[in-house]
Amino acid sequence: MTFPLSTPGALTDLARAAAGQILESAASIATVPVRVLGLLGQGELLLSRVTLVAERTEALIERLEGVVTEAEKAVGALQAMIAAANDGRPGGPAATRPRATRARSRDPQP
């Protein structure tokens, strides 16, 4: 099959279009290394952020372990105080203490 090229202008336009496509392809290929380097840089940045989050999470877990340890100590101390107040038995002396009497009126009575 033959392509009719009736005028020299059509041949020139075809050559220009081919040259334009070649230049666009070359420009796209030339930017590939820059794009790959940018992608690697962004990947490195993402990895450093993930590492930072992991480090902060570890520090937070250590702090929480300290809080839990102190809370367990406080609960143990409270249980010991309650046991001592009850003399080791439920309803011990602390439960049988007399209730406070009603406060007296501030007005002197005649």
Cα 16 → chain centroid: 55
pTM reported for the whole predicted model: 0.49
Distance (Å, whole) CA 72 – CA 10 = 90
pLDDT, tens only, 87-110: 756 555 555 555 555 555 566 555
Distance (Å, whole) CA 37 – CA 59 = 33
Q: Cβ contacts of residue 95 below 8 Å, gap of 6+? A: 86
pLDDT, tens only, 43-71: 999 999 999 999 999 999 999 999 999 99
**90-to-54, 76, 77, 79, 99 alpha-carbon distances in Å:** 48, 17, 17, 12, 18
Element (H, E) at 23: helix 8-85
